[in-house]
């Protein structure tokens, strides 16, 4: 007799049932995993106590130094270099490695005439700033670092290139091994840099103004600054970019202007093996392309800069993109791109960066307006080399306004970019929740299979595009709808509620019938039927795009909140930048997590004191019998099928709590 034969039939039956239940729940109830948030607490942007610092003056007359490079070379850790406002320091300046961990602060003599701390600078304050100007016609930066340089802080400095410099390949290069051996090891990375209230700009006489700041370092912040006039003829140009730096980075409360990508991570192979820039906060910035750069605009300035997008990740992990305004992105074919606001596209640089990865990306509480299309997510690189798959991407509480193919797109009404909200390949674990999207094209263009997606609580335009596409669209199904979802989004099921509580303005409910038996989606005939506060005047005051209390969709979200954007939350986030971990909700000390679980027949209802978590339920053998992520402080899930004691764990990237629960299932 085998050991198996010794088991009573009932016990054996229960074991088999439990195994089948586990397999079922794993394959059917495994839901989208929330992205991990960045950890940036190693960067403290607040000015340190400086009463014991050495102060040295730098200027042309009667100062401690007239030579800025000599002043930097001789400065010890714990020194303030005060540069005369209005003075010009022409050349390229190196930041060498120093002993000690106190800051070397390089600041204007008139910082008291700049805005208060944590307020953004603008060009009108140039008269209160010293000017560091590169005059090198070979493209050498104005400021660059040695290996392992650290603890430099710039406050109230203007940094630019002389108008005689027609080709500059970057103004501030933090890392990268410029003028020294290649930076091919993380031990060589410079670290701890703060650029605060600085005016960093190119000029329009140039053909190439490649980038404002390159973050090829670790532990750096660019805050409260104005970075503008970066553009090139036939080349990419960025306000801020990063290729060979590990992070963490803070990019907070800046004006950022560039013709290519206003912010870009990736774009070339990293010299450091296996490097992926990680732990990046991009908060409360204004990413903008002037319409004077558009060739068909009445105020076109006459030089055709290559136009791409406003924000792009070719590689990067643990990214929080929050509280930003993105404005103006138009098609510039054949040399540029098709007018997307944001592009998340893994690029392994033809096999030279196989580690490239775009994962754990949170995009929330932003305003994206006046663009040819919304977001493009590739999922994988499409060349012959192995590529990582993008995963864990959250798009939540964003307003997309005037996403307009006719005004800003490539004018190919039959193509995949014409006023589309999201173009998508095959990423994993995508959550699209509580967005309000006013776009002229289809909601989506799904060109490959995405095996794990959740679309809840959104308001979308769902009119028929000029090309004949509508709603959730994928090639082969012109009018979109449930057949597209069945083909391209196979995890979306009516009984899993992962396509739920959305409003499709002017949509055809018949196209979505198989997904509306249990899930609740709504199809008002026009915008006026939604119950906005004042839709015609929404662009004048975004609070007018909120729902009135008498709207049919007020409180009808799956979390009992209004469908669409929480506009008070959105505007509060945009208007109040947060810089350091002692204040921020982005990455702060762990909070006390409490949650309760109530059983109601076959359902469990979870009440938590936070609104973004993953829930795992394990039996006493440690086997996960249910796992799902949720948004909102109240959530429901099917209870395990068997009576017994289970362990429920609630967690996100910061917090975790576990408790025992007893499940009673009637026979």
- Residues 396-445: tens digit of each pLDDT: 999 999 999 999 999 999 999 999 999 999 999 999 999 999 999 999 99
Q: What is the CATH number of domain 4-30+591-663?
A: 2.60.40.3080
User: Across the chain, what does the average pLDDT equal?
Assistant: 89
Burial of 508 (C-beta count, 10 Å sphere; 0-12/13-18/19+): middle
What average pLDDT does the segment 110-131 reach?
95
What average pLDDT does the segment 570-597 reach?
66
Is residue 619 very low, low, confident or very high in pLDDT (cuts 50, 70, 90)? confident
Neighbours of 2 (CB within 10 A): 6
Give CA 519 to chain center in angstroms: 29
Identify the pLDDT of residue 617: 84
Q: How far is CA 527 from CA 500, 530, 535, 578, in A?
A: 20, 6, 7, 35
Dist. CA 43–CA 174, nearest whole Å? 15
What average pLDDT does the segment 31-41 reach?
86
DSSP, res 660: E
What average pLDDT does the segment 524-550 reach?
95
pLDDT at 23 exceeding the cut of 60: no
Identify the pLDDT of residue 382: 82
Where do we find the tokens 């970075």? 227
Identify the pLDDT of residue 449: 92
Neighbours of 173 (CB within 10 A): 25
pLDDT at 627 exceeding the cut of 90: no
What is the tens place of the pLDDT at every residue in 451-484?
899 999 999 999 999 999 999 999 988 788 999 9
Instruction: Cis check for the bond before 248: say yes or no (omega within 30 of 0).
Output: yes
Identify the pLDDT of residue 13: 52
Is residue 591 very low, low, confident or very high in pLDDT (cuts 50, 70, 90)? very low
pLDDT at 24 exceeding the cut of 80: no
Is residue 655 very low, low, confident or very high in pLDDT (cuts 50, 70, 90)? low
What is the tens place of the pLDDT at every residue in 178-231?
877 899 999 999 999 999 999 999 999 999 999 999 999 999 999 999 999 999
Neighbours of 384 (CB within 10 A): 8
Assigned architecture for domain 54-270+278-290: 3 Solenoid (2.160)
pLDDT at 20 exceeding the cut of 50: no
Is residue 500 very low, low, confident or very high in pLDDT (cuts 50, 70, 90)? very high
Residue 406 structure tokens: 């006719």
What is the tens place of the pLDDT at every residue in 633-649?
777 888 888 888 888 88
Give the containing element (helix H, strand E) for 547: none
Give the containing element (helix H, strand E) for 341: strand 340-344
pLDDT at 83 exceeding the cut of 50: yes
Residue 602 structure tokens: 């076959």
Identify the pLDDT of residue 530: 97
């Amino acid at each position: 007799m085998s050991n198996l034969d010794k088991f009573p039939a009932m016990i054996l039956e229960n074991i088999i049932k439990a195994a089948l239940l586990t397999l079922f729940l794993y394959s059917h109830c495994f839901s989208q995993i929330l992205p991990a948030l960045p950890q940036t607490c190693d960067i403290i942007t607040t000015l340190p106590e400086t009463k014991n610092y050495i102060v040295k003056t730098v200027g042309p007359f009667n100062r401690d130094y007239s030579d800025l490079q000599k002043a930097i070379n001789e400065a010890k850790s714990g020194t303030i270099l005060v540069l005369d406002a209005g003075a010009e320091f022409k050349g390229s300046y190196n930041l060498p490695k120093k002993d000690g961990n106190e800051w070397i602060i390089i600041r204007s003599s008139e910082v008291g005439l700049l805005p208060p701390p944590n307020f953004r600078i603008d060009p009108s304050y140039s008269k209160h700033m010293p000017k560091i100007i590169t005059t090198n016609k070979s493209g050498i930066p104005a400021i660059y670092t040695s290996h392992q340089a650290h603890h430099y802080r710039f406050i109230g400095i203007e940094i630019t290139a002389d108008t005689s410099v027609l080709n500059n390949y970057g103004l501030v290069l933090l890392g990268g091994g410029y003028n020294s051996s290649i930076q091919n090891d993380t031990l060589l990375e410079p670290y701890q840099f703060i650029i605060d209230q600085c005016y960093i700009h190119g000029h329009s006489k140039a053909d190439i103004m490649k980038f404002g700041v390159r973050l090829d370092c670790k532990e750096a912040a660019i805050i409260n600054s104005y970075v503008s006039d970066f553009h090139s003829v036939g080349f990419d140009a960025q306000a801020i970019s990063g290729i060979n730096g590990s992070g963490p980075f803070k990019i907070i409360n800046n004006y950022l202007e560039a013709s290519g990508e206003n912010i870009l991570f990736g774009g070339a192979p990293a010299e450091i093996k296996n490097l992926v820039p990680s732990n990046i906060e991009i908060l409360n910035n204004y990413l903008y392309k002037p319409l004077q750069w558009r060739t068909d605009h009445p105020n076109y300035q006459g030089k055709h800069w290559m136009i791409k997008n406003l924000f792009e990740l070719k590689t990067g992990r643990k990214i929080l993109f929050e509280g930003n305004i993105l404005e103006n992105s138009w098609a510039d074919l054949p040399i540029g791109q098709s007018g997307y606001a944001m592009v998340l596209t893994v690029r392994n640089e033809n096999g030279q960066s196989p580690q490239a990865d775009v994962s754990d990306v949170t995009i929330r509480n932003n305003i994206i307006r006046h663009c040819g299309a919304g977001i493009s997510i590739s999922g994988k690189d499409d060349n012959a080399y192995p590529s990582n798959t993008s995963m864990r991407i959250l798009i939540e509480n964003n307003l997309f306004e005037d996403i307009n193919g006719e005004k800003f797109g490539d004018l190919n009404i039959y193509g995949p970019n014409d006023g589309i909200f999201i173009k998508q390949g095959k990423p994993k674990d995508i959550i699209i929740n509580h967005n309000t999207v006013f776009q002229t094209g289809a909601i989506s263009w799904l060109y490959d299979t995405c095996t794990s997606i959740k679309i809840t609580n959104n308001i979308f335009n769902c009119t028929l595009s000029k090309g004949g596409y509508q709603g959730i669209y994928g090639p082969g199904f012109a009018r979109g709808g449930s057949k597209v979802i069945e083909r391209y989004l196979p995890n979306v099921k009516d009984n899993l509620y992962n396509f739920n509580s959305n409003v499709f303005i002017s949509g055809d409910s018949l196209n979505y019938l198989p997904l509306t038996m249990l899930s609740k989606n709504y199809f008002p005939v026009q915008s006026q039927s939604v119950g906005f506060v004042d839709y015609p005047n929404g662009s004048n005051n975004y609070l007018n795009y909120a729902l009135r209390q008498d709207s049919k969709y007020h409180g009808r979200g799956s979390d009992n909140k209004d469908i669409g954007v929480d506009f008070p939350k959105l505007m509060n986030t945009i208007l109040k930048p947060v810089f350091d971990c002692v204040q921020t909700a982005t990455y702060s000390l762990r909070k006390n997590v409490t949650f309760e679980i109530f059983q109601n027949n076959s359902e469990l209802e979870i009440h938590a004191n936070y609104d973004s978590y993953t829930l795992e339920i394990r039996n006493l053998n440690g086997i996960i019998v249910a796992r799902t992520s949720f948004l909102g402080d109240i959530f429901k899930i099917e209870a395990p099928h068997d009576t017994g004691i289970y362990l429920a764990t609630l967690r996100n990237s910061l917090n975790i709590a576990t408790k025992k629960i007893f499940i009673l299932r009637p026979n």
